Structure 1
Amino acid sequence: MMDPILLDLPTKIETERLVLRIPQPGDGKVVNQAICESIEELRPWLSFAKKKPSIEETEADVRIAHAHFFLRKEIRFHIYSKADGRFIGTVRLHHPSWKVPRFELGYWIHTKESGKGYITEAVEALVQYAVEEVGAKRIECLIGTDNKKSCKIPEKLGFTLEGILKNEYTNGEGVLIDSYVYALTPGR
């Protein structure tokens, strides 16, 4: 595989209802608002949700994600409604192993946007992008075993449940949790 820094990856993906684009400086305020309004729902699953971040902390994270996209350390997209431009959530490919290439899939949604199929639509688009643009041979999705709602997404999209990782990580509450490992292996 060529050096991933040389890949000319699109910075925007469009679906029927959504626009996914890489994080941009200035996105911190709207992302911060979504995190703060969704913190109680995010905390049981995501380590970054230990506390409500400041706008400056979120803006710094957005700028790091912007740089990481071009350095190929992480491929994150912010999700926006095509109809009115409102921020919906994020999807990302992180922990890359470019030799395979393999990625871990992650996502979260603003609580008020949950249950509308947006994350499934965005994840499906990101998986297609990973396979077609990046050449992914393995996409993993690790989900807390108690997070049944989130498990529905990889199940709908044809991922295989490969097993359970015991004591895999600590969530936003500092609780050690087990995770399901879902994987998609294109071409196998």
Structure 2
Amino acid sequence: MNPLLFEVPLQIETERLILRAPHKVGDGEIVNQAIIDSLYELKPWLLFAQELPTVEETEINLREAYINFLKRESFRFLIFDKDSNDFIGVTSFDNIDWDIPKSEIGYWINTSYSGKGYMTEAVKELVDYGLDSLNFRRIEIRCESTNYKSRAIPERLGFVLEGTLRNEDLSADRRELTDTCVYSVVR
């Protein structure tokens, strides 16, 4: 089946969260504020956090993500608290290969909300949706070997650590080689 024919909802709900595609004008402002609030924690791990993006740059990035959502190339979801509507973070299906079919999951959280299980809850929902509704045969989570907070999520969710790729990537600041842990769940 052509991926453009998949009915992918713009919003998915969990017990405490709403995962929503970045399709609303103005999403850039709330996401940019979370980047500002969390820059110190995001900078060691994420390329986009090396320099603070402007609100306009963040808005453009989110609109491009929505275009990719519609083209079924990736699915980015903004995470909101169901009760307060506070923005919590981002999770996404990236590097989708519809021939297998498989995907990677990425994520980052506004520091104010870390340690409360929100990201684990959001990623679990994506995993379930990917395996059950998109029929993915494989879902990966890749993260730097020293990013223990990020590694905790696939470990909590029962992913298998398939291995550590040594000197596989550059650090977010592009200054040194890093090792990448590859976790997966298969159907």
Q: What TM-score bracket applies, with the shorter chain setting the length?
A: over 0.9
User: Could you report, residue by residue, the CA deviation over 1:122-161 in whole angstroms, capped at 9, with x for unpaired residues?
Assistant: 0000111111221110001111100111111101111000
Structure 1 stretches lacking a partner, 5+ long: none
| Equivalent residues in 2 for 1:7-156, closer than 5 Å | 7-24=6-23, 25-156=25-156
SS of alignment partner, residue 133 of structure 2:
helix
Aligned to 1:167: 167
2:19 partner amino acid: L
User: Could you report, residue by residue, the CA deviation over 1:67-123 in whole angstroms, capped at 9, with x for unpaired residues?
Assistant: 110101111100000011010000001011110111011000001111000000000
Structure with the larger RCO, 1 or 2 (CA within 8 Å, 6+ apart) = 1
2:7 partner amino acid: D
Structure 2 stretches lacking a partner, 5+ long: none
Check whether the contact 1:91–1:122 (CA below 8 A) recurs between aligned residues. yes
Task: For 1:73 and 1:35, locate their aligned partners in 2 and report how far apart those are by CA, in whole Å.
Answer: 24
Between 1:165-174 and 1:99-108, the stretch displaced more is 165-174
Task: For 2:171 and 2:105, locate their aligned partners in 1 and report how far apart those are by CA, in whole Å.
Answer: 17
User: Could you report, residue by residue, the CA deviation over 1:149-179 in whole angstroms, capped at 9, with x for unpaired residues?
Assistant: 1111101111000001122322332233111
Task: For 1:177 and 1:46, locate their aligned partners in 2 and report how far apart those are by CA, in whole Å.
Answer: 13
SS of alignment partner, residue 32 of structure 1:
helix
| Percent of aligned positions that are identical | 47
Q: CA deviation at 1:3?
A: 1.0
2:70 partner amino acid: F
1:89 partner amino acid: G
Using the size of structure 1 for normalisation, the TM-score is: 0.95
Task: For 1:22 and 1:94, locate their aligned partners in 2 and report how far apart those are by CA, in whole Å.
Answer: 14
Using the size of structure 2 for normalisation, the TM-score is: 0.96
Task: For 2:45 and 2:168, locate their aligned partners in 1 and report how far apart those are by CA, in whole Å.
Answer: 12
Aligned to 1:185: 186
Task: For 1:183 and 1:117, locate their aligned partners in 2 and report how far apart those are by CA, in whole Å.
Answer: 20
Check whether the contact 1:47–1:170 (CA below 8 A) recurs between aligned residues. no
SS of alignment partner, residue 155 of structure 2:
helix
Task: For 1:140 and 1:115, locate their aligned partners in 2 and report how far apart those are by CA, in whole Å.
Answer: 22
SS of alignment partner, residue 62 of structure 2:
helix
2:186 partner amino acid: T
Task: For 1:4 and 1:107, locate their aligned partners in 2 and report how far apart those are by CA, in whole Å.
Answer: 23
1:150 partner amino acid: S
Between 1:169-178 and 1:30-39, the stretch displaced more is 169-178
Check whether the contact 1:41–1:111 (CA below 8 A) recurs between aligned residues. yes
Task: For 1:34 and 1:84, locate their aligned partners in 2 and report how far apart those are by CA, in whole Å.
Answer: 15
